[in-house]
Copies of this chain bind each other. A is one copy, B any other.
Amino acid sequence: MHSRPVLPHSVTIRDVGPRDGLQPEAPVPVERRIELVESLIAAGVSRIEAVAFVSPKAVPAMAGAAEVLDGITRSEAVTIAALVPNLRGAEMALESEVDELTVTLSFSETYNQRNVKMSVAESESAIADIVRSAAAAGVPVDAVVSCSFGSPYEGDADPAEVVALAQRLLDGGTTTVTYADTTGMATPRRIHDLADALDSAGLLGPSTGLHLHDTRGTALANAFTALERGISRFDTAVGGLGGSPFAHGAGGNLATEVLVAALDDAGVSTGIEIERLVDAALLVEELVGRPVPSGVAHQGPRTRRSAPQG
């Protein structure tokens, strides 16, 4: 009957744990945030959203971005990204010689207003300024579209409208777009819906990114559906941390180690060594002072064995 779906040979994972994971937490000292980034690099993670250049008053957990970047051992093999909310943040990030900028805006007007106190149109305009500045420095910009699968305020997002927003961003010079399920409203069906809309617009391809949250237990099912549609770029957070403070009901990110363990078993290459990644997840646990929600962090990958006795 049904044949086994063909998955991509390899997947690019951007670990957003040091930024999206730690942002809602009590501040972690700069040296320990550097340690976390280094532990991800040691596990083979090749793309890391390490910091955000945001107001330290508004977001104390993200203070010291330049210091964190200064402390990371940089190499050609690893792309270090910084989230920037505006031109000033972009200029600071570019001074710190980041490899990639990430910018965010929401498909949901209400969510965007709450998150950045701007309309979506105002965010698009702010992104245009950032893109110009980044282009001059030769640094790529990834736009993360939050609430790409809907919001608890406006309900479902029309995939065609999400794609239209993405097209405007790409036309404006954004290098790539990442579709974020900020409040856990994506399902396998909605992933197919968005993939269909992207496909119709000629935008479904290796650069298509997904940023999934596990609010309703769907994150890995959504990732596998996306893989079946040829999507091979994912944002995940080591340990599965990261709730949005602005949306009631937003749960943690898809845990990097949950995705990597499942991809390892599927024969999809990530370049990441799972047991060292589990070490990084346990470091996160130490940094935030409570257990992380990821089962793989605690039980290890499925290949881990118990002693036969006791």
Contacts and interface: CB of A to CB of B under 8 A. Distances in A.
Interface of A, helix, strand, loop or mixed by DSSP: loop
A251 B299 CA distance: 9
Interface in A91-124: 110
Contacts of A216: 258, 261-262, 295-296, 299, 301-302
A271 to B, nearest CB: 19
A127 interface: no
Please give the count of copies of this chain that the complex contains: 2
Interface of A: 1-2, 4-6, 110, 150, 152-153, 155, 184-185, 187-190, 192, 196, 199, 204, 214-221, 223-225, 228-230, 240, 247-249, 251, 255, 258, 261-262, 265-267, 294-296, 298-306, 308
Contact of A265 (B190, B251, B265, B295): B190
Contacts of A221: 220-221, 223-224, 262
Contact of A306 (B220, B248, B267, B306): B248
Given A199-B1, A215-B295, A302 B187 contact: yes
A258 B217 contact: yes
A262 B308 contact: no
B215 A299 contact: yes
A285 to B, nearest CB: 16
Given A220-B217, A224-B224, A266 B187 contact: yes
A110 B188 CA distance: 37
